[in-house]
Amino acid sequence: MSSVVSGVLQEYGNDAGRLMDILLDIQAENGYISDEDITGIATGLDMSTADVEQTVSFYHFFARKPMAKYNVYLNNSAIAVLMGREKIAEAFERESGCKFGEVSEDGMISLDDCADIGMADQEPAALINGLVFPNLTGFRVKELVRDMRKGVSVDELRAHGLGDGMNNSQYMKATVNNNIRKKGAVIFSEYQAGSALDKVKTDRMSPEQLIELVKQSGLRGRGGAGFPTAMKWDFCRKAKGEKKYIFCNADEGEPGTFKDRVILTERPRLIFDGMALAGYAVGAHKGILYVRYEYMYMKEYLESILTEMRNEGALGKKVNGIDGFDFEIRIQYGAGAYVCGEESALIESAEGKRGEPRDRPPFPVEKGYRGMPTVINNVETLCSVAKLVTNGVEWFKSLGTGQSTGTKLLSISGDVKYPGVYEVEWGFSINDILEMSGGDPAAVQAVQVGGPSGSCVGPNEFERTISYEDLSTGGSMMVIGEQHDLLQDVVLNFTEFFIDESCGSCSTCRALAVMYKKTLEKVLSGGGRRKDIDAMLSWAPIGKASRCGLGQTAMNPICTSIKNFRYLYEGHIKNANEQYEGGFDIAKAVADSCEVVGRRPNL
C-alpha cells in the first residue's frame, strides 16, 4: 500500500463510510486513482476491489488512468450549446491538437465533456483541473492552451480576471461572477452573522417553538418538490435514533440552476446558521453540507468560514451559548453525479457508496444517513429559515402569495440580456421574468421552467405564474430564442443528459431514456411516423414507475415539448399518411455486403 493511501485511510479511521473523501483525497494527491490504490483501499476497508470500483466508476470526475497535466472538461449542456460551445470545442481541439476523449501528444492537455457545471449565466465554461473557467471565447482558449503548454500553473491561469464579490477573496480567487441581478428581502438582504441563533437564545425558544414558528411561516422546500419544512423537521424530531443528522443539499445539478453557487459565495453564514437552527429543532449535533464537485473552488473558502465559526463559538460545544446545544458541520464533496441531488442518493453518496436512490419508505427522516433520522434541506430553504427566525413570521408571510410565502431565487440563462440570479417574491409570470431579464418576448421560442426535468413552455403559456399553486420550480429558467433548433439543440441534449446521468438501477430509467433518444433521432432524421410521436407519449407511465425523480421526469423534455410544440415534430414527418415502419434504411443495411461484392445498391 502506498504511503498516500495508508495516510488517507488513517485520516478517515479506515471508515468505509468515508470512501468518497478517501478517493477525493487520493486523486487530489496523485491526479488519479491507480489499480494499486484500489487494492490498497480494498484491503484497508475490508472490501473487495469490485466494491471499491463500483463507487469509483459511478462518478464522472474520478480518473482511473494517469491524466494529462491539464485536464479540460468542457460543459456540453444545452445552454452551453446555445452560447456557442461547439466553436469553443473546435478551438480547444485545434489549439491542443487532440480530440475530445484524448490526451495531447505531449501529455500536457486532455479534453473531455462534462454535464452542466452550474455556470449557465457565463457559458461556455470549462473545468480545468477542477477549477472553473467561464465566458470562454476562441481567443481565450488560444491563450489558455498557449499558457498550459508553457506550464503555467492553474492558479496563475485564472489570475486573468477574478470575479465580483467574495469570488475575489483570498480563499477563493475564482474567475466566476455572481451576476446578482435582483436582490430580494430574504436571501440577499443584509444578515448579521449569528443573529438567528441569538434570537433563539434571547427568546428562550424551545425546539418545538422553533418548529412551530417555521410551520406558521408556511415555508416549503425550495428544491422543487415543495414539501413543508416544518413537517419534515417535526417527523425527524419525533423519530427514534441515538443520533440525528442535518444535511444541506448544495448538489445543485439541474442544468440551468446556479443560485446555490451564489448563496454559497455570498451568504455562507446564512446557510450554516440555518443548518444549526435545523439541528437545534430536531435534536441533531452534526450537519453535513454536501457540495457538488464542480464547486471545488469554494472548498478552502467554505472551510475558512467554518473555522471562523468555531473560533466564535458559533459551532462546537454550546453553540452561541445555548445550553445543551452542541453542533458541528463538515463539508462533503461529490464527484460528478446529477442523481446525487436526489436526497436519498445524496445520503448514499455521503456514506461512500454509489449515488443510487433508496426506496421509500423508510424516509430519510426515519432512517437516513448511517441509518439515523436525517433532515435534508435545500440551501435556499435553510437560508429562509435563518431569515424568518430573525425577522419574524409576519414579515415572512407578507412576502409572496397565500400558499407560496417568501421569495424564490431564479437562475435565468439563455437568450436574455442579463443572465444571472434574481430574488423575487413568489407569484410572478414568465412574461415578468422575460421583462426583468431583458428577453425579447417576440424573439423567444420557449422557456424551460425548472430545468430539463421541468416543462418546456411556449408563448401561449407565458402568463402562467410561478408558484407552488401553478408552475412550481427549483429556480432554473432557460430562455430559448427562436433562432435555435429546439428539438435538436435542447430536447435531444436534455434527453442525452438524462441517459448520461441515470444511475442505471431502475430498468425504467436506464433503458427507457435510450428508447426515447432513439425514437427522437429517428423523427429528426426524417424516418419517423406520426405513430412514433404518439408512442413516445404513451411510454411515459413506464418511466413514472422509476424509483426517483430522474427516471420519473426523464421523458419530460420530449413529452412536454410534444404537448406544446407538436408542430415541430410533425414538421419532420415526411409523409403524414404513411403507416409502415420508417426507421429502417435498407441502403445503409446492405452497404457492407454491397461493398464486398462490388455492387451499388439498386433501390
Q: Which is nearer to another protein, 73 or 516 (CB)?
A: 516
* Grid cell locating 283: 435534536
Q: Are 270 and 305 in contact (CB under 8 A)?
A: no
Considering the complex, what minimum distance in angstroms separates the CB of residue 47 from another protein? 6
Considering the complex, what minimum distance in angstroms separates the CB of residue 332 from another protein? 19
Considering the complex, what minimum distance in angstroms separates the CB of residue 345 from another protein? 11
Q: Side-chain half-sphere of 139: how many Cα atoms within 13 Å?
A: 0
Among 28, 29, 36, 50, binds another protein (CB under 8 A): 50
CA distance 246 to 374: 6
The 568-597 site mask, x for binding another protein (CB under 8 A), equals ---------------x--------------
CA distance 350 to 346: 6
Q: Give the 3-state secondary structure percentages of the chain, helix then strand then coil, rounded to 5.
A: 45, 15, 40
Question: Who's near 85: CB < 8 A, 6+ residues apart?
Answer: 74, 75, 76, 123, 124
Among 2, 30, 34, 54, binds another protein (CB under 8 A): 54
Considering the complex, what minimum distance in angstroms separates the CB of residue 354 from another protein? 6
Longest distance between any two alpha carbons in the chain, whole Å? 90
153 binds another protein (CB under 8 A): no
Among 78, 379, 499, 568, binds another protein (CB under 8 A): 499
> Which residue pairs from 173-178 have beta carbons closer than 8 angstroms and sit at least 24 positions apart in sequence?
174/131, 174/132, 174/297, 174/298, 175/132, 175/133, 175/134, 176/119, 176/122, 176/132, 176/134, 176/261, 176/265, 176/297, 177/121, 177/122, 177/134, 178/262, 178/265, 178/266, 178/420, 178/421
Number of residues interacting with another protein: please give it, by CB under 8 A.
44
Q: Which is nearer to another protein, 511 or 590 (CB)?
A: 511
Residue with cell 414568465: 430
Considering the complex, what minimum distance in angstroms separates the CB of residue 46 from another protein? 6
Query: Residue 16: what are its φ and ψ, rounded to 5°?
Result: -60, -25
Q: Side-chain half-sphere of 136: how many Cα atoms within 13 Å?
A: 33
Applying the rule CB under 8 A, the residues between 341 and 400 that interact with another protein are 354, 359, 361
Which of these ranges, 11-19, 267-275, 430-438, 508-516, lies near another protein under the rule CB under 8 A?
A: 508-516
Applying the rule CB under 8 A, the residues between 332 and 351 that interact with another protein are 337
Considering the complex, what minimum distance in angstroms separates the CB of residue 240 from another protein? 16
Question: Who's near 464: CB < 8 A, 6+ residues apart?
Answer: 429, 430, 457, 470, 471
Q: Which is nearer to another protein, 322 or 514 (CB)?
A: 514
Which of these ranges, 38-46, 147-155, 278-286, 388-396, lies near another protein under the rule CB under 8 A?
A: 38-46
Among 10, 36, 57, 469, binds another protein (CB under 8 A): 57
Considering the complex, what minimum distance in angstroms separates the CB of residue 498 from another protein? 9
504 binds another protein (CB under 8 A): yes
CA distance 475 to 424: 11
> Which residues, in sequence order, are bridge partners of residue 477?
412, 449
Q: Which is nearer to another protein, 210 or 335 (CB)?
A: 335
Considering the complex, what minimum distance in angstroms separates the CB of residue 478 from another protein? 23
Among 4, 63, 185, 511, binds another protein (CB under 8 A): 511
Q: Which is nearer to another protein, 77 or 217 (CB)?
A: 77
544 binds another protein (CB under 8 A): yes
Residue with cell 489499480: 35
495 binds another protein (CB under 8 A): no
Considering the complex, what minimum distance in angstroms separates the CB of residue 503 from another protein? 5
Q: Which is nearer to another protein, 471 or 535 (CB)?
A: 535
CA distance 278 to 285: 10
518 binds another protein (CB under 8 A): yes
Q: Estimate the crossing angle of helix 379-391 against helix 268-282, to 10 degrees.
A: 80
Closest-CA residue to 52 (of 22, 30, 10):
22
Angle at 180 between CA 176 and CA 185, to 5 degrees: 140
Which of these ranges, 75-83, 186-194, 322-330, 540-548, lies near another protein under the rule CB under 8 A?
A: 540-548
Q: Which is nearer to another protein, 342 or 501 (CB)?
A: 501
Q: Which is nearer to another protein, 53 or 147 (CB)?
A: 53
Closest-CA residue to 148 (of 135, 163, 129, 161):
129
Considering the complex, what minimum distance in angstroms separates the CB of residue 543 from another protein? 9
Strand, coil or helix: 289: strand
Residue with cell 441581478: 181
Q: Which is nearer to another protein, 67 or 514 (CB)?
A: 514
Q: Which is nearer to another protein, 177 or 519 (CB)?
A: 519
519 binds another protein (CB under 8 A): yes
Which of these ranges, 45-53, 108-116, 486-494, 594-602, lies near another protein under the rule CB under 8 A?
A: 45-53
CA distance 597 to 277: 76
List C-alpha distances in Å: 80 to 87, 89, 112, 122, 453: 11, 11, 14, 9, 18
Q: Which is nearer to another protein, 50 or 591 (CB)?
A: 50
Q: Which amino acid is at 345?
A: A
Cα-Cα end-to-end distance for the chain: 64
228 binds another protein (CB under 8 A): no
List C-alpha distances in Å: 132 to 157, 320, 471: 11, 36, 32
Q: Which is nearer to another protein, 390 or 553 (CB)?
A: 553
Among 311, 398, 507, 525, binds another protein (CB under 8 A): 507
34 binds another protein (CB under 8 A): no
Q: Which is nearer to another protein, 82 or 533 (CB)?
A: 533
Q: Are 224 and 472 in contact (CB under 8 A)?
A: yes
Angle at 423 between CA 209 and CA 493, to 5 degrees: 115
Among 297, 468, 539, 569, binds another protein (CB under 8 A): 539
Q: Which is nearer to another protein, 173 or 572 (CB)?
A: 572
525 binds another protein (CB under 8 A): no
510 binds another protein (CB under 8 A): yes
- Interface positions with another protein (CB under 8 A): 39, 42, 46-51, 53-54, 57-58, 337, 354, 359, 361, 499-508, 510-515, 518-519, 522, 535, 539, 541-542, 544-547, 583
